Structure 1
Amino acid sequence: MENSQISIVIAEPSAIIAAGFSSVLSGYNAFKIVEHISDLRFLPGVVSRYFPDILVVNPVLFDYRSKSSVRSMVSGEEGMAIAALTSTLYDEAVFSQFDAVISVYDSPSAIVKSLRKAYKTAKGVKPHEGQEYDLSEREKEILVAVAKGKTNKEIADEFNISVYTVISHRKNISQKTGIKSIAGLTVYAMLNNMIDNSDL
């Protein structure tokens, strides 16, 4: 389901690094690279065109003075995560502006983990205060069924429970994840390896 993929724009001057990053993510259905730019001059137009979920940018593209004000220069849509992709160490003040810092030496799994964390942080996906974040096994089963587009009645029949119980589970899932829309829950399920595109 294409609209459930996490869209990413890469701002990286090196075509080789950008291609390698894209190659790593090609093995994960949850992510989709929508554009690669090598110059920040093109960034406003690209952001307004694609409204990406994540901007992955190499801090080297910023001049010395603007390295301390990355957020003000990269003012995309609300909820867009910004991750640094770097092969160089910078001052902590620079890195602290990003939702995630990815090294070109990171393993594919580490890169994906960083992107997932950045996405969830930017979208405000967090447990409600006083709520346990981890979903129960039954809640995970219900979540997968919801992501597959099943109705409350279909879910109730599948698990031999009442529709009221299904609704109660769905309410708990929304409280724990902070997500209410079916599209958002589908993305959550994909990011947490509960389903992949072949299940949809």
Structure 2
Amino acid sequence: MIRVLICDDHAVVRSGLTMLLHGKHDIEVVGEASEGDEAIRMALELRPEVVLMDLSMPHGKDGMTATAELKKELPDTAVLILTMHDDDEYLFRAIQIGASGYILKNAPHEELLAAIQSIAAGNAYLYPTATKRLMSEYLQRMKQGGEPAGAYETLSEREKEILGWIAKGYSNKEIADNLVISVKTVETHKSNLMEKLGLKTRPELIKFALKKGLLNFE
């Protein structure tokens, strides 16, 4: 039996998921949480095999932060991100912090059930269009030879630092405030590092930062 904990800030969504999963011969819903802190507390108490985690929860701890903390406390519990965000940035962040799967809320019921069963068995799961997109981008980068050899090593220490801040989603002003430098200086470093790395978009930068192990959401 796969014990599942559902975390979503909308009661109607939680009820709908519980009704969907109830009666499936290998799945049991053991609890419902409305925000991240509650999900962590319940997971520690109930020890589910799988946690269905929404990302956007305005009241309390969000799903990304909760997932990172939950994986520290219960590394063997699989987290399946269930979200409306069809976005590479969220996808890569979720993978980086330890989520076992990522699926959209508009996915067919059969796909959700398959995802739960897959990650409960120790596998990873991405919704089909995300897998196709990632493979396409990977093959395209390989065709282009990937990023320039040794490009990362050409960055200054400050550029590497700013790369990490940008990849985590901070604005130029927030980076400037944290590093006690001007916004113009941040913009200059950002322009230089993007040129050195041969990157043009923010999703590309996030993927590069993930590959280099620069993302840390502790």
TM-score, L = length of structure 1:
0.51
C-alpha deviation, 1:89, in angstroms: 2.4
Does 2:37 align with 1:41?
yes
Which sections of structure 2, spanning at least 5 residues, go unmatched? 125-218
Return the alpha-carbon distance in structure 2 between the equivalents of residues 109 and 68 of structure 1: 25
Q: How does 1:45-194 map to 2 (within 5 A)?
A: 45-61=41-57, 71-75=67-71, 76-90=73-87, 91=89, 92-96=91-95, 97-121=98-122
* CA-based RMSD: 2.7
Return the alpha-carbon distance in structure 2 between the equivalents of residues 19 and 69 of structure 1: 23
Aligned identity (percent) is 11
Report if the CA contact (8 A) 2:53-2:63 is conserved.
no
**Number of aligned residue pairs:** 118
Return the alpha-carbon distance in structure 2 between the equivalents of residues 99 and 36 of structure 1: 19
Report if the CA contact (8 A) 1:81-1:122 is conserved.
no
Return the alpha-carbon distance in structure 2 between the equivalents of residues 42 and 69 of structure 1: 12
Does 2:20 align with 1:30?
no
- 1:98-127: CA deviation from partner (whole Å, max 9, x where unpaired): 21122221112111111111111269xxxx
TM-score, L = length of structure 2:
0.48
C-alpha deviation, 1:69, in angstroms: 5.6
Instruction: In structure 2, give the amino acid aligned to 1:101.
Output: Y
Return the alpha-carbon distance in structure 2 between the equivalents of residues 67 and 37 of structure 1: 11
User: Could you say which residue in structure 2 is the equivalent of 1:186?
Assistant: none
1:34 partner SS = strand
User: Could you say which residue in structure 2 is the equivalent of 1:169?
Assistant: none
Instruction: In structure 1, give the amino acid aligned to 2:57.
Output: L
- 1:61-91: CA deviation from partner (whole Å, max 9, x where unpaired): 389xx77665432234232100011122232
Distance 1:70 1:39, change over 3 A: closer
User: Could you say which residue in structure 1 is the equivalent of 2:143?
Assistant: none
- 1:2-33: CA deviation from partner (whole Å, max 9, x where unpaired): xxx11111110011111111121124121011
Return the alpha-carbon distance in structure 1 between the equivalents of residues 102 and 55 of structure 2: 10
2:121 partner SS = helix
Instruction: In structure 2, give the amino acid aligned to 1:82.
Output: V
Report if the CA contact (8 A) 1:83-1:102 is conserved.
yes
1:121 partner SS = coil
C-alpha deviation, 1:45, in angstroms: 2.1
Q: How does 1:189-200 map to 2 (within 5 A)?
A: none
1:49 partner SS = helix
